[in-house]
Structure 1
Amino acid sequence: MAGTSQTNVKTPASQEVTENYRGPLVTVTLLFFMWGFITCLNDILIPKLQQVFTLELWQAMLIQTAFFGAYFFVSLLYFILSITKGDPIRKIGYKNGIIVGLVVAAVGCVLFYPAASTLSYGFFLGALFVLASGITILQIAANPYVAILGPTEGAASRLNMTQALNSLGTTIAPIIGGYLIFGAVNAADTGADSVKMPYLGLAAALLAIALLIKASKLPSIQSSDEITPGAGALRYRHLVLGIICIFAYVGGEVAIGSALINFFRLPEIAGLEEAEAGHFLAFYWGGAMVGRFFGAIALSNSKNTTGKYAVMGGIASVVFVLLFTAYGLNEALIVLGLIALNFTVLLLGRFIPSKTLGYFSATVVVLLLITSFASGAVAMWAVIAIGLFNSIMFPTIFTLAIKGLGVHTSQASSLLVMAIVGGAIVPPLQGAVADITGNLQISFLVPLVCYLYIMYYGFAGSKIKDETL
C-alpha cells in the first residue's frame, strides 16, 4: 500500500498496556463525558432563549447552527493548516492539543456571562461558536489519541467505552441543565441570568480538567516520520469513504432523534403528549449508552468470551431491574428483548468491528422500514431500538477510517470531525420530505439511505486496499 508511513509507538506488552494506559484512559474519558454533557445542554438553551428573546422556532434553531457550524469551519481550518504548514496536533502533541481545546471551550462558557448581561442573542451565538470550536479541537485530538493509546486490535473497544461515557453525559445533561436553568430556583426568571452560573460552573470544570491533563503523565505518541505539509491523508481510500460514512451516520442519527417526539405524537403510532413522548425518548438515548457499553466489551481484545458474556448479562440484568422498578414489567421486558436482539447481532458480527458495523446498520435499515410502514407499538419500539444499534457506529467508523494512517492520523481526524456537519444537512432533508408528502413516517426513508451507505462501508468500504487514491 502506497504511503504506509506508520506512527512509531512503542507498544508495550499486554500487561504493561493494562497497567500503564488505564489511568490515562480514565483521564481522557472525562473529556467525552463533558462534551456530551455540553452538547446536550443546547436542547435546554433553545426553549430558554426562545422565551427570553421572543424568537421564532427557526431563529432559536440557530443555536444548533452556530454550534455544529463550528465543527465544520474549525475542522476545515485545521485541514488547511495541515496542508500548508504541517499537521498542528502532530507538532504540539495530542496532550497539548487536548489542553488547547479545553481552554477554548472554557472561554466560550465564560462568554455566556456577558451575553446574558447584555441580553444579546448574537453574543450568545458567538459564545456557542467559540465553545463548540473548543470541543471540535478536543474531538480532533482526543478521538485518535484514544484509538492509538494501546494495541490496535482494541482501538474500537476503547473508543466505544469513552463514547459510552459521552452518552452518559447526554443522558443526564437535560435533567441537570433543566433543573438549573428552568428549575424551581429560576422558575420566575424570564430573563437570561439563569444561564450564567451553570456555564461559569462548566468553565471551571473544563479548566480543572485541563489542569488535570497538564499534570497527568499521559503517554507521548511519537513518530519517526517527518511532519510535512500536504493532504496526505486523502490518499487513503478507506479514509475518504469513512468521511462520507461519518457524514451519513451523524446525519441519519440526528434526523431520527429530531423527529421522534413528533413521531410518538402521531395518532396512528402512540398519540402521546409531549411530556410522555419525552419519556420514551429517554429509552432511545439510554439504549445508545447501553449499546456502547456492550460494544466496548464485545470489541475488546480480550479472549475471555465467557467473561464478556457474563459482564454483558450483568449489564442487561441491571437495566431490567432499573426499568422494572421505574416503569413496570411491560416496558422492562420489551427493552430486555431489544437488548437480546442487540446481543444476537453482536454474535453475528463475531465481534469483528467492520462486520459488526455492517450487521448493525443492516438491522437499522430493517428497523427503519418497520418505522416507515408499520403502525402502533410495533413502529414505536422499532424506532426506539435504533438507539441500541446506533451505539457502536461513530467510534467504530472512526477507528476503521484512521487505521494504518500513521503520521496522517490527526489530519484524518480533522476531516472526520468536519463530516459531523451531516447533522446539519440530513435533518432538514427529512423535514422537507415530511412537509412535501404530508407523511412523517415516509420521511424516515431519508435516513435509511444513510444507513445503506454505512452498511456498505462496514462490509466493503472500510477494507484497506493495496493502492491509495
Structure 2
Amino acid sequence: MAGIPASNMTISEPIGQEKQNYTPALITLAVLYFMMGFITCLNDTLVPFFKKGFTLTYSESSLVQFYFFLTYGIASIPAGKVVEKVGYKKGMVLGFSIAACGALLFFPAAVMHQYALFLAALFIVAIGIVLLQVAANPYITILGPAKTASSRLTLIQGVGSIGTTTAPLFGAYYILAPLQTSSASSDAVKYPYLGIAAALIIIALIVSRLSLPVIKMQDEAIENTSDSKKGIFSFRNLNYGIIGLFVYVGAEVSVGTFLTNYIADLLKITESAANNYVAFYWGGMLVGRLIGSVLLKSIKASTVLSVCAALAIILIIVSINTTGYLAVWSMIAVGLCNSIMFAIIFSLAVNGLGKYTTQASGLLSTAIAGGAIISFCQGLLIDNSTWKVAFMLPMACYVYIMFYGLNGYKSKFSSL
C-alpha cells in the first residue's frame, strides 16, 4: 500500500565497478510484499474470529482494522524520518523485527483472553508494516523509467496479492475452524502467530546479511521556477489524491473486513466456510494487478482508474439488490476492480510535484488511515441498519475515485 516514490532518488554505484546485481533486491521485495499482504489480510479473519470469541458487535470487531490502519495515519511520517536516518535496508530489518514482536504478543494476549491486548499487539505489528512499506517502495520505483512506475508498482503488488490470497485460506483452516469446536476462543491464534513471528525473524536476519542497492536522495526542483515558492497544497492532483487514497483504502478494507460475515449471512454457512470465499476477493486483486501491469503500458492510467471504479459501483449495486451466489460473487468481483487503484492514485497524485514528491508521499501514506475510519463507520452502519445500507458507504468511495480518474487528477504541473 503506502510508500515513497523515488522520482528524486538514484541508485549509488561505485565508479569503475560493475553494475550491481538487482536480483537479491527483487527477491527481497517479493518476500517482503508477500508477508505484508499475508499479515494485513489475515486481519479479515481476525474480525469474525474476535466477534464470535468475545461476543462483539460489528463495530467493536472492526476495531481490529481501526487500530491496524490508524497506525498509518500516526506512524507514516515518523517512519519516513527513521528510514532517512538508518537507511532503507536497516529500515526493512527494523520493520520485520517490530512486526515480529507484535506477533509474539498474540501468545500472552491469548493466554489472558483479553481483546484489548490483541488490539495492542496488532498496533505494534502495524508499526512494523508501516516501516516496511516506507523502506521498500523506493526500490520498486527506482528500478525503471518513471513513466512505467504505475505498471511496475502494480506488478510488485501482485506478488503481495499472493499473500493476501493465501491468508483467508490459512485463517479459515487454522483460526476459524477451531473456533467452531473450542470453548477456549483465543487459543486458535496462539501458534499461527508464533509461526508468523518466527518467519519474520528469519527474514529479518537474512535481509540484514544481503547486499542491497544503496539509494540516495537528489535535489529536484519544479521546472516552472515562477511557481517554485508555492506550497505543497498548491497541487490540485495531490489534494484530491490524498482524499482518493483515503477512500480507496477505506473501501478495499471495509469490503474485505465484513465479507466473511456478509457471505455467511447470505449463504447461511459457518464463518470458516465463508472465509474461504474471501480468498477469491484477494485473488481477484492478484489477477487484476498482473493484467493491469500490462494494460497500463498502453492505456492511460486515469482511464483505467475511472473504468474500474465504475465497474466496482455496478458490482456493489448488483450484490446488495440480489441474493445467493449472484450477490456473493458480485461482491467478490469488486476485488478485481480494486487491483490497480492504489498504484494509479498514488502515481497520479505525485506526478509533477518535483521537490515536493517525498513530502507528498508522507501525506499520502497517512491517508491509508482511511482503512481504519471507513471500516469502523461501516461496522456502525451494519449494527444499526442493514447490509444494503452499509455497503452504500464503500460505493460512495468508488464514486469519488471515478471522479478522480475523470477529472480530479488534472493539474497544470502534471505531465499525465
Please report the TM-score for the alignment, with normalisation by the length of structure 1.
Answer: 0.72
Q: Report the Cα offset of residue 247 of structure 1.
A: 0.7
RMSD: 3.6
Which residue is equivalent to 1:334? none
Q: How does 1:174-253 map to 2 (within 5 A)?
A: 174-181=168-175, 190=184, 192-225=186-219, 233-253=232-252
Aligned pairs for 1:423-434 (under 5 A) are 423-430=371-378
Match of 1:366 among 305, 311, 314: 314
Contact 2:59 2:379 in 1 (8 A): no
Partner SS for 1:124:
helix
Separation in structure 2 between the aligned mates of residue 176 and residue 421 of structure 1, nearest angstrom: 26
Is the contact made by 1:69 and 1:421 (CA closer than 8 Å) also made in structure 2? Answer: yes
CA distances 1:427-454 after superposition (whole Å, capped 9, x unpaired): 3444555666x55335433322211221
Aligned equivalent of 1:273:
269
What CA distance in whole angstroms lies between the structure 1 residues aligned with 2:89 and 2:235? 26
Q: Do the aligned residues in 2 keep the contact of 1:72 with 1:418 (CA within 8 Å)? A: yes
Q: Which residue pairs with 1:25 in the alignment?
A: 26
Establish whether residue 413 from structure 1 lines up as the match of residue 361 from structure 2. yes
Distance 1:69 1:8 in 2: 28
| Alignment partner, residue 460 of structure 1 | 407
Letter in 1 for 2:393: V
% identical aligned pairs:
43
- Separation in structure 2 between the aligned mates of residue 373 and residue 237 of structure 1, nearest angstrom: 36
- Cα distance in 1 between the residues matched to 2:392 and 2:177: 38
TM-aligned CA deviation for residue 125 of structure 1: 2.1
Give the 3 Å change call, closer, same or farther, for CA 8–378 of structure 1 in structure 2.
closer
Using the TM superposition, give the Cα deviation of residue 138 of structure 1 relative to its aligned residue in structure 2, in angstroms: 1.5
C-alpha distance in 2 between matches for 1:445 and 1:121 = 29
Describe the superposition over 1:250-287 as per-residue Cα deviations: whole angstroms up to 9, x where unpaired. 12223333454555567xxx654346654544432221
CA deviation after TM superposition for structure 1 residue 134, in Å:
0.9
Q: Map residues 437-448 of structure 1 onto 2, 5 A cutoff.
A: 438-448=385-395
- Counterpart in 2 of 1:257? 256
CA offsets, 1:332-386, max 9 Å, x none?
xxxxxxxxxxxxxxxxxx4332221122112223333334545666554433322
8 Å Cα contact 1:164-1:293 kept in structure 2: yes
Query: What displacement does 1:129 show?
Result: 1.0
Q: 2 CA distance for matches of 1:287 and 1:452?
A: 20
Describe the shift of the 1:446–1:188 C-alpha distance in structure 2 as closer, same or farther (beyond 3 A).
Answer: closer
In structure 1, the residue matched to 2:281 is 284
1:111/1:233 CA distance change after superposition, 3 Å: farther
Q: Structure 1 296/19 Cα, relative in aligned 2: closer, same or farther at 3 Å?
A: farther
Task: Give the equivalent residue in structure 2 for 1:15.
Answer: none
Aligned CA distance change for structure 1 residues 169 and 8 (closer, same or farther; 3 Å): closer
Unaligned ranges ≥5, structure 1 = 13-17, 301-349
Amino acid paired to 1:245: G
What is the CA–CA distance in structure 2 between the aligned matches of 1:440 and 1:59, rounded to whole Å? 16
Query: Whole-Å Cα distance in 1 between the matches of residues 183 and 132 of structure 2?
Result: 34
**Cα distance in structure 2, aligned partners of 1:299 and 1:88:** 33
Cα deviation, residue 39, structure 1: 1.8
Residue-pair matches, total: 395
Amino acid at match of 1:273: I
Q: Given the superposition, is the C-alpha separation of residues 89 and 199 from structure 1 closer, same or farther in structure 2, using an over 3 Å criterion?
A: same
Relative distance call for 1:22 and 1:154 in structure 2 (3 A) is farther
Residue of structure 2 aligned with 1:295, choices 287, 292, 295: 292
For the pair 1:155 / 2:149, whether they are aligned, the reply is yes
Contact 2:59–2:378 at 8 Å: present in 1 too? no
Q: How much has 1:130 moved relative to structure 2?
A: 0.9
Alignment of 1:316-331 (within 5 A): none
Largest Rg, 1 or 2? 1
Cα distance per residue 1:158-217 (max 9 Å; x no partner): 211222222221221232244444567996571645433322322222222223323333
Q: C-alpha separation between the residues in 1 aligned to 2:62 and 2:379?
A: 14
Q: Structure 1 pair 151/26, CA: closer, same or farther in 2 (3 Å)? A: farther
CA–CA separation in structure 1 for the residues paired with 2:55 and 2:255 = 27
What SS does the corresponding residue of 1:222 show, helix, strand or coil?
Answer: strand
Alignment correspondent of 1:112? 106
Contact preservation (8 Å) 2:288, 2:340: yes
Q: How far 1:31 moved relative to its partner?
A: 1.2
Cα distance change, pair 382–201 in 1 and its aligned pair in 2 (3 A) = closer
> Which stretch shows the higher mean deviation, 111-120 or 209-218?
111-120
TM-score (ref. length: structure 2): 0.80
Aligned partners of 1:432, 1:278: CA distance in 2, in Å?
Answer: 21
CA–CA distance in structure 1, aligned partners of residues 324 and 105 of structure 2: 46
Q: Greater shift after overlay, 163-172 or 114-123? A: 114-123
* Alpha-carbon distance in 1 for matches of 2:120, 2:382: 32
